[in-house]
Chain A
Amino acid sequence: MPVSSLHCPVCAKQINYKTSVSSILICPGCVCSYQKSEGTAQFLQQEKAVLEDMSPLRLGTMGQFEDKPFEVIGRIQYSFEKFYRNLWAVLFSERAYGWLAEAYGDYMMLQRKEFLLNASVVAKLKAGRTLELPDNKSYEVERVDINETIYMEGELPEHSKENIRFTSVELSTDNHQKALIHLLAHYKTTVYTGQLVPFKRFNFKHLRDLRDWI
């Protein structure tokens, strides 16, 4: 994928990006976030740099999902009270975004959904309860956790603008479909749905060096 770049207005470090459309860029130097639009970058806020979490993935990792190639271009790293998760932003060749969720050796390919959910129902969800989403699938709640910190890197399709402290609900269906719901402030929700995918099926390239582990 072609690489374009601009210089960070704060630290002057070069920020490379691959999306032609509007996106969020995180400066690799000072970790400030910018809204990119037509070659200009508008400062958003100071972010936190991602931490070492032993993920085998990195920016630039390439893979395939349902025969469509993609490249990892950004990451949001969540540290929950009891859990952690990476949401890797992936860019498919046809300029479509996806989210590759990674936690404890599980990998899910997700899409952000514009579902309107009843936030008060989401707020009452507990492990073991079921919830039907607007995709007409019945999901069972596997985990409810509170996010504590967000870290970012690379290029993201949008700024989550999430309050750092929010409730995350992980759900699954009978046939390995997955959903993530982030219950944000002011009764807003962000919903991702998708499926579990075994690591090997992605045919990853340009991973971090795994020589001692594979």
Chain B
Amino acid sequence: MTGFKLTSTETLPSPAVITCKGCSATIHIRAYLQTKYVACGSCRKLYTLTSTDHWSTLTSFKKTTTSPYLPVGKKGKLKGVVYEVIGYIQWKEVGPDYYWNEYTLFNPVYGYAFLNEYNGHWNYIVPTNIYPKVSDRSMEFDFDSHYYHLFLKYRATPVFAVGEFAWSITDTRTVVEEFIAPPYLLVKQKKTDSITWFQGEYTEPEQIREAFSIKAPAPEKIGIGAAQPMPFATDISSLKIFSIVAVLLLTIIHFFITFNVKEEEVFRNTYHAPAYKDPTPVVTSQFTIKEGLFSTSNMEFYLFAPLNDDWLEAEVTLINDDTGEEFQIEIGTEFYDGYDGGQYWSEGSQSSTRFLSAIPAGNYHLNIFPLKGSLSQEYNYTLKLTRNVPMWSNFFIILLILGLYPAIQWWRADSFEKQRWINSEYTI
């Protein structure tokens, strides 16, 4: 736009003030020569300005209830740059009924930036000279360490505008392509005579509200934004690699232990449980648990009693004769069976196992205090201790835990992405 003399080279001037040719409202021009179009918020007309005296009406916007959340003329510091809001456009996609808001931000040193708001989701966008050299038909590409997917391709028309603009906003032939790699996006704007790339980043509304000192709450978020990152997200590909490595490591460790640490029976004895008497407490003779690959080992206690409709319990204390350290365990078995309506049934088992972990090597003996149910039965019961028993259950529990987090994250990411891509005619 022509017409504003350079009055001082010392300082940057305040906005120029002109009077709207349509309604005599006051219009501020912040970017001076850079501004080519002016939209009067009062008479809702969009003008092209070739000079302060040459106004050509481009279009008249319909009456609207829309009012910009960020007022034109408001200054704020966003992403480390002081910006003034110099323009607002409510856009509508050519064809479908999609509406969104765009704010033009200006800084004399760093140029222009834009804030786009759709359904309460904001993107901060700046023109960039660093962009991917891709063909017009590219729908996905790797750029700057991020993988971008085409999310939207559209043409747009302004429904309402106010403020000043450096570029034409009425050219509905302009094709816009938005590529996303949340929280980042790249926007390609192709006109007949220019191609401009913009890079953007999803920005929380609170950040914008604070930057421009807006008291009113920002428009409520609806759905998932195009470039919105998933809250508490984990990078799925990194998680996949981590999970595979963790499972492999776990499997290797488990098999290493299984094949290198030999299972070894360290004690076995059979005792008599007489009828009509409580079994006698037993103090066993000494037995040795030898040093193994590791300083300690697990210990399986196995109790077998050929009982029927009866129970046997034993309080077993494993005593280290070298250190006096005691390890206590209760182990029991019960078994019932019979016929009911001609059908055989049984409950319980004649044997049971319990485990103790981290039993050090040394000389040991056992104190066994058995108790039995029915006094009329007589049988022999056996107690066996085995160390270094492979714990497959532990292996599978850890495997499950390892798989649980990636599975939850994958499910969350999948649901989140499905919600996001509802707004796109393309698929990931």
A65 within 8 Å of B (CB atoms): no
Pick the contact of B111 from A51, A105, A127 — CB < 8 Å?
Answer: A105
Main secondary structure of the interface of B (DSSP, over half): loop
Structural contact, A79 and B10, CB atoms closer than 8 A: no
**A126 to B190 CA separation, bound complex (whole angstroms):** 11
A66 within 8 Å of B (CB atoms): no
Structural contact, A106 and B6, CB atoms closer than 8 A: no
Shortest C-beta distance, A101 to chain B (Å), equals 12
Interface string of A132-172 (1 = CB under 8 A from B): 00000000111111000100000000000000000000001
Structural contact, B33 and A104, CB atoms closer than 8 A: no
Tier of interface size on chain A: 35 or more
Structural contact, A106 and B111, CB atoms closer than 8 A: yes
Q: Which residue of A lies closest to B107 (CB)?
A: A213
Most buried by A among B10, B36, B109: B109
Most buried by B among A77, A127, A145: A127
Binds B, one of A5-13, A55-63, A87-95, A182-190: A55-63
Structural contact, A49 and B107, CB atoms closer than 8 A: no
Q: Which residue of B lies closest to A146 (CB)?
A: B193
B2 within 8 Å of A (CB atoms): yes
Tier of interface size on chain B: 35 or more
Structural contact, A54 and B32, CB atoms closer than 8 A: yes
Structural contact, A51 and B2, CB atoms closer than 8 A: yes
Structural contact, B12 and A56, CB atoms closer than 8 A: yes
Shortest C-beta distance, B144 to chain A (Å), equals 13
Pick the contact of A59 from B9, B11, B75, B109 — CB < 8 Å?
Answer: B9
B3 within 8 Å of A (CB atoms): yes
Interface string of B95-135 (1 = CB under 8 A from A): 00000000000011111100000000000000101100100
**A151 to B407 CA separation, bound complex (whole angstroms):** 65
Interface string of A38-58 (1 = CB under 8 A from B): 000000000001111111101
Structural contact, A79 and B194, CB atoms closer than 8 A: no
B344 within 8 Å of A (CB atoms): no
Structural contact, B109 and A199, CB atoms closer than 8 A: yes
**A77 to B4 CA separation, bound complex (whole angstroms):** 13
**A143 to B193 CA separation, bound complex (whole angstroms):** 6
Shortest C-beta distance, A148 to chain B (Å), equals 8
Structural contact, B191 and A58, CB atoms closer than 8 A: no
Structural contact, A144 and B194, CB atoms closer than 8 A: yes
Q: Which residue of A lies closest to B127 (CB)?
A: A104
Pick the contact of B112 from A56, A84, A104, A128 — CB < 8 Å?
Answer: A104
B130 contacts across to A, CB distance below 8 A: 176
- Report if A53-B33 is in contact (Cβ < 8 Å); known contacts: A127-B193, A128-B195, A144-B194: yes
B26 within 8 Å of A (CB atoms): no
Structural contact, B193 and A58, CB atoms closer than 8 A: no
Pick the contact of A127 from B5, B32, B75, B190 — CB < 8 Å?
Answer: B190
**A84 to B190 CA separation, bound complex (whole angstroms):** 19
Q: Which residue of A lies closest to B194 (CB)?
A: A143
A209 within 8 Å of B (CB atoms): yes
Structural contact, A82 and B129, CB atoms closer than 8 A: no
**A105 to B112 CA separation, bound complex (whole angstroms):** 7
Pick the contact of A214 from B3, B7, B82 — CB < 8 Å?
Answer: B82
| In the complex, chain B residues 185-244 whose Cβ is within 8 Å of any chain A Cβ | 190-196
B112 contacts across to A, CB distance below 8 A: 104-105
**A79 to B110 CA separation, bound complex (whole angstroms):** 19
Pick the contact of B82 from A53, A128, A213 — CB < 8 Å?
Answer: A213
Q: Which residue of B lies closest to A130 (CB)?
A: B133
Pick the contact of B10 from A52, A142, A196, A209 — CB < 8 Å?
Answer: A209
Structural contact, B111 and A208, CB atoms closer than 8 A: no
A54 contacts across to B, CB distance below 8 A: 12-13, 30-34, 108
Shortest C-beta distance, B249 to chain A (Å), equals 42
A210 within 8 Å of B (CB atoms): yes
Shortest C-beta distance, A18 to chain B (Å), equals 17
Structural contact, B13 and A105, CB atoms closer than 8 A: no
B30 contacts across to A, CB distance below 8 A: 54
A114 within 8 Å of B (CB atoms): no
B167 within 8 Å of A (CB atoms): yes
Structural contact, B129 and A106, CB atoms closer than 8 A: yes
B53 within 8 Å of A (CB atoms): no
Shortest C-beta distance, A166 to chain B (Å), equals 15
A174 within 8 Å of B (CB atoms): yes
B322 contacts across to A, CB distance below 8 A: none
Pick the contact of B194 from A53, A142, A196, A213 — CB < 8 Å?
Answer: A142
Structural contact, B34 and A51, CB atoms closer than 8 A: no
Complex A-B: 7 CB contacts under 8 Å: A51-B6, A53-B34, A54-B33, A82-B167, A104-B127, A105-B112, A126-B193
7 A-B pairs closest in CB distance: A105-B111, A53-B33, A143-B194, A209-B11, A54-B108, A104-B111, A58-B9
Show the binding face of A for B, using Cβ within 8 Å.
49-56, 58-59, 77, 79, 82, 84, 104-106, 126-128, 140-145, 149, 172, 174, 176, 178, 196, 199, 208-210, 212-214
Further contacts, 8 of them, CB under 8 A, given A82-B168, A105-B109: A53-B31, A104-B127, A106-B129, A128-B195, A143-B193, A143-B196, A178-B129, A213-B12
